[in-house]
Amino acid sequence: MVTIKDVAKYANVSIATVSRALNKDDNKVKPETREKVLHAVKELGFYPNAIARSLHHKKTKMIGLIIQDISNPYYPRIVRGVEDAAQKHGYTVVLANVYRSRQRTQNYLKIFREKRLDGVIICGGGIVKNAEQDNFFKENIMSTVVIGKPLVDDLHSVQVNNFLAAKDACEYLINCGHKKIVTITGPKESTTANDRLEGYKAALMKYGIEPKEEWIIQGDFQYESGYNAIDYFPGIGKDKITAVFSQNDVMAIGVIKALRERGFEIPKDISVIGFDDTLFTASHGLSSVAVPVYDLGKTAMTILADLLAGNDVPLITTLPTKLIIRETC
Amino acid sequence: MVTIKDVAKYANVSIATVSRALNKDDNKVKPETREKVLHAVKELGFYPNAIARSLHHKKTKMIGLIIQDISNPYYPRIVRGVEDAAQKHGYTVVLANVYRSRQRTQNYLKIFREKRLDGVIICGGGIVKNAEQDNFFKENIMSTVVIGKPLVDDLHSVQVNNFLAAKDACEYLINCGHKKIVTITGPKESTTANDRLEGYKAALMKYGIEPKEEWIIQGDFQYESGYNAIDYFPGIGKDKITAVFSQNDVMAIGVIKALRERGFEIPKDISVIGFDDTLFTASHGLSSVAVPVYDLGKTAMTILADLLAGNDVPLITTLPTKLIIRETC
DNA sequence: CTGAAAGCGCTTACAG
DNA sequence: CTGAAAGCGCTTACAG
């Protein structure tokens, strides 16, 4: 591997000069000298060692991105948003799927710290309150931006108002004449799921409908839990249940599949509304609450870059959602 | 940031000793001394600087993963496979979406080189033959594994036999009685798409059917191109077209949507078969050729780790596909 | 078993 | 405008 020394020798200058010639902003080097250096660089195929540079600058120009599971269609666009913005600001992203495991999260946080990443973006329920992680963030070892609700105070975040969005969606159903509405929830630890659940309840209450225990069906944001939810429905039909508010799309697609297999027509027999509006909801004709996932990612990265540049950034940034009505309700 | 020096001072030993105590494999350090060091480490919250370590070892324990577009459902599981295997082998992955852009690919390759990543996995059509990239691989600057068909010789790869898989799928259609089959292709530069196209042709020819020009509809692996493909169909019905072989699922879901909107029933009026068997094909009841994407990723990373460990690895590893018949044909 | 020293490949204050 | 030198935070051969 060719080093700065080789270039210096080849160009007949000191390594200090090579360094200066390469860091453009520094115009304290004679044009001819720079030419010589640039020529040597090309000739030898020199690629400056970013590791050595990092050691000096104490910056790696890399950030970590912690997500729960890239194969959940909610995440890819977030990743894209983060990466596009990262690229724009000169950062490179290290990806970490933690599958909601505290262990894996901790492990990656440790690796990120050792590798001296400049910052980290944490997506969703990763940050379970817990001594060691708490320390990690409290000590402010790494600039951090959370996508979603941070469980640790003082962390910057970009969010969506899940409570209101869920409430709106459910109110829409109620205004369509539905009075008995089931909801399929996300995992218990998820604050996102929790907010959506509260929004559901609030909508019902607003219209004087008492949300029954049996209407709240525990899901986990996975397809199967939507598909199986039907087994827990307290019956389907005018006097039973006429609509389902699925707290994400994947589960909504699951219920729809199960519903159709049992001969129910949608929305004739029962309405379904999802959440997230991820890829393919359109092809399923699924009504859903659109979450601007790409922008969540992009904004999070932009905020992180700002933070790293020493700029002031508001603690919470909220992005708007949008109810999209298609064919399932 | 606390350094090895601080730990040494705190523990009253030299930094060499701290280093030795921390690199467990080195048992040339007295147990009591190690205790002292470990205590200091905990007390001070010391996290060894991997950057400094890398500078010495000339290894970063990071690999780059170049994919075309994470929001295409084909990729997330590959990424997962790569990351899981990477984690197992002690590597961390840097993600790069290049959107089939040669420019972006080149740019990332440069960054990877400067950051001294240990290796790189390239997914799909990224490697367009081209002087500079050619050099990159020829000079063997970074260990490389390609998922798909490498356009540069001598590169390790893990693949699937797209030709055979496509041929099998089309033969299946023919054996079901179809004689007039349309195919929707991927982008022209994609070798994957090309192999699938050849497989399609071969199947038809084998049964004495001459594949007509008009049966081959140019797509680009995106939903829209599937949805719009119908406009180029030479008519639908017994004497026109009775089946479509879509070269990926996303486009298949697009055609199905378009077909249904125009009142056609599937598979009664027309059969559809996709390729890849990515997420949600099941919920659409789409028949498809299952590509073991997770395993492609996992295997690629395993091979890369082997390469980096100096082991011998066969140049090409081929993984099996599987035709999965569901409701659309 | 432990320490002093050299080295990894850069950058930058300090002289000149 | 340019060079010699110190320093970033580690690891490891070399002595002892």
CA of B33 to C1' of D16 (A): 19
Please check whether strand D approaches the CB of B27 to within 7 Å: no
Considering chain B, what is the average pLDDT of its residues? 91
Residues 6+ apart with CB under 8 A from A229: A182, A184, A217, A219, A244, A246, A251, A254, A255, A258
Q: Of all residues in chain B, what percent carry a pLDDT higher than 90?
A: 74
| CATH architecture, range B162-291 | 3-Layer(aba) Sandwich (3.40)
- Give A94-111 pLDDT, tens digit per residue: 999 998 888 899 899 999
Least confident of A190-194, B84-88, B109-113: A190-194
Query: For domain A61-160+293-319, which CATH number applies: 3.40.50.10260, 2.40.40.20, 3.90.1150.10, 3.40.50.2300?
Result: 3.40.50.2300
pLDDT tens digits for A24-69?
A: 656 778 888 899 999 999 999 999 999 999 999 999 999 999 998 8
- Per CATH, the number for A4-48 is 1.10.260.40
Give the pLDDT band of residue A72 (cuts 50, 70, 90). Answer: confident
Write out pLDDT tens, residues A154-164.
889 999 999 99
Q: Could you tell me the fold of the domain covering B58-160+293-320?
A: Rossmann fold (3.40.50)
Protein contacts on strand C: list nucleotides below 7 Å from a Cβ: 1-5, 7-13
So what's the pLDDT on residue B130? 62
Per-residue pLDDT, B25: 57
For the packed helices B4-11 and B15-22, what is the interaxial angle rounded to 10 degrees? 100
**C-alpha–C-alpha distance, residues A28 and B40, integer Å:** 45
Nearest-CB residue to A47 (from B73, B114, B253): B114
Give pLDDT, residue A227: 94
pLDDT score, position B179:
93
Q: Does B162-291 match B4-48 at the fold level?
A: no
How distant is the Cα of B168 from the closest Cα of chain A, in angstroms?
Answer: 27
Is the per-residue pLDDT at A283 higher than 80?
no
Least confident of A127-141, A306-320, B115-129, B225-239: A127-141
- Cβ contact, residue pair A115, B94, below 8 Å: no
Q: pLDDT tens, B223-272?
A: 899 999 999 998 887 778 999 999 999 899 999 989 998 999 999 999 99
Which helix (H) or strand (E) is A299 found in, with range?
helix A293-308
pLDDT bracket for residue B284 (50, 70, 90):
confident
- What is the per-residue pLDDT for A126? 47
B49 touches strand D (CB under 7 A): yes
Q: From chain B, pick out residues whose CB is under 8 angstroms from the CB of A70.
A: 70, 76, 79-80, 83
Report yes or no: A51 at the B interface, CB cutoff 8 Å. yes
Instruction: Give the residue-averaged pLDDT of A294-320.
Output: 96
The reply to whether residue A95 touches residue B96, judged by beta carbons under 8 angstroms, is no
Put simply, whether B76 touches A (Cβ < 8 Å) is yes
State the residue for tokens 């983060």. A82
**Partner-chain residue, chosen from B96, B110, B280, that has the shortest CB–CB distance to A280:** B280
Q: pLDDT value at position B153?
A: 74
Q: Which protein residues have Cβ within 7 A of any strand C atom?
A: A 1, 3-5, 15-16, 18-20, 22-23, 26, 46, 48-49, 52-53, 55-57; B 12-17, 20, 27-30, 32-33, 52, 55-56, 58
Res B95 pLDDT > 90: yes
Q: Which pLDDT band, with edges at 50, 70 and 90, does B126 fall under? A: very low
B78: closest chain A residue by CA: A71
3-state secondary structure of B160: strand
Q: How far is the CA of A110 from the C1' of C1 (A)?
A: 30
Sorted by where each begins, the domain ranges of chain B are: 4-48, 58-160+293-320, 162-291
Average pLDDT over residues A125-142: 63
Residues 120-139 of B with CB under 8 A from A: 139
C1' nearest to CA of A17: which nucleotide?
D2
Which of B73, B83, B283 is the closest to A279 by Cβ?
B73
Q: What's the pLDDT tens digit per position in A235-263?
A: 887 778 999 999 999 899 999 989 998 99
Q: Please, which pLDDT band fits residue A151 given cuts at 50, 70 and 90?
A: confident
Alpha helices in B49-151 (DSSP H): 50-57, 76-88, 102-114, 131-138
**Of B298, B307, B254, B246, which is closest to residue B276 (Cα–Cα)?**
B246
Share above pLDDT 90 across residues of chain A, in percent, rounded to a whole number: 74
From 1.10.10.10, 3.20.20.70, 3.40.50.2300, 3.40.50.2000, which CATH number describes the A162-292 domain? Answer: 3.40.50.2300
Residues of A in contact with B55 (CB under 8 A): 49, 51-52, 55
A281 touches chain B (CB under 8 A): no
- CA of B250, C1' of C9: distance in angstroms: 48
User: How many residues are recorded in chain B?
Assistant: 329
- The count of residues in chain A is 329
Q: How far is CA B297 from CA A315, B138, B150, in A?
A: 38, 23, 15
Tell whether A316 is within 8 A of chain B (Cβ).
no
Residue A124's pLDDT band (cuts 50, 70, 90) = confident
Average pLDDT on B34-60 reads 94
